[in-house]
Structure 1
């Protein structure tokens, strides 16, 4: 793997589960589920949260979630708060936009 700090590297991926209105995921907000997915992606790749330099997070319909859901998810995954986070709201294209 390249050691150039300017290179972008995707080391793993995990997605949040699909649910239904009022179903078993009802107690969780999107940043909590996102934090779980980020934590799992880090676990699968063997990367520590402290090694992540930036988080780009796709979140559809962030209304009512508070400010910067991507930052909330990053924090819940154990990534240090001194790292930048970006939340992308592009409806179905959020995840694709996050990796392009």
Structure 2
């Protein structure tokens, strides 16, 4: 079966958030703030027009204290247009991998 390039999902850039430690140097930043930095970098590296983004998906393991819809917060602050839907995957250790799937 032929794939329609207009409807086939693609990954055009990959950037991960930094790995920190409990109460370490990144502890003052929230997961959405770290996610926003990764999204900004992915958009810059890929050259994708922001208007071509259909959806934002982010894995987040511990959501306590980060507010509602962490993926939405990260996408918005990462430069994704307001009208683009976003959702957060919370699958404990597999959140990031599941978000890619």
Q: Does 2:13 align with 1:33?
A: no
Residue 20 of structure 2: aligned partner: 19
Q: How does 1:1-100 map to 2 (within 5 A)?
A: 4-100=5-101
Shift of 1:49: 2.5
For the Cα contact (< 8 Å) 2:39–2:79, is it kept in 1?
Answer: no
TM-score by length of 2: 0.90
Shift of 1:3: 6.7
Unaligned runs of 5+ in 2: none
Aligned residues: 99
Cα distance change on mapping 1:80 and 1:3 into 2, 3 Å: farther
TM-score (norm 1): 0.91
Residues 49 and 77 of structure 1 are in contact (CA less than 8 Å); yes or no, is this contact kept in structure 2? no
Task: Name structure 1 gaps, 5 residues minimum.
Answer: none
User: Structure 1 stretch 48-57 or stretch 75-84: which is displaced more?
Assistant: 48-57
